[in-house]
Amino acid sequence: MSTQKTALREFGSVEDNALRMDTDKAAQIVDAINTDLAATYVLYHQLKKHHWNVTGAEFRDLHLFLGDAAENAETIADELAERAQALGGTPVAGGAALEEHAPVEPEGEDIYDIRTSLENDLAVYGDIIESLRDHVELAEQFGDYATSDMLKDTLVDVEEDAHHIEHYLEADTLVLDSATQ
């Protein structure tokens, strides 16, 4: 356990940074990034839950996809956290803080059928997509084109995984329902 009594930087504060971003603008961008970071970690944990619990005829494909999607979310979260730090801020961390800052609701601890689980994932993806679009605009408005570009790249990755889930949710399947045979 650390014996340090004072924080090097208080959460919510923004220091001068080597990027020469005005601290007032940087504070708003860090807050936006922390929102996306928190939402992404909520999504990450939900995807991992579904990765662990998926069953059924399409288990293998879904298990692999959900594992990859969780890895993508973890990579995105790391990039967001590092950008918040580069702007002189402190990335949100810790379970309670992440849930408090996230604009999305975690699914909960129960296990649902995979269709319901994927629908819940797609809803979180949609909320993150809308948030990222808003934050791209904010970063551009403040002249932070590097953050804007990073968020645009993130948006492409998030939209791609959401689109894959959309395909899994289509009604067409090779699996026959025993009741219709």
How many Å apart are CA 81 and CA 15, to the nearest integer? 15
Angle of helix 145-168 versus helix 114-141 axis, rounded to 10: 160
What are 46-67's pLDDT values in tens digits? 999 999 999 988 899 999 999 9
Q: What pLDDT shows up at residue 57?
A: 87
Q: What pLDDT shows up at residue 2?
A: 64
Q: Around Cβ 142, how many Cβ atoms within 10 Å?
A: 18
Instruction: Spell out the domain ranges in the chain.
Output: 23-170
What are 6-56's pLDDT values in tens digits? 877 778 778 787 778 889 999 999 999 999 999 999 999 999 999 999 998
CATH 1.10.10.10 fits domain 23-170: no
How many Å apart are CA 75 and CA 61, to the nearest integer? 21
pTM: 0.89
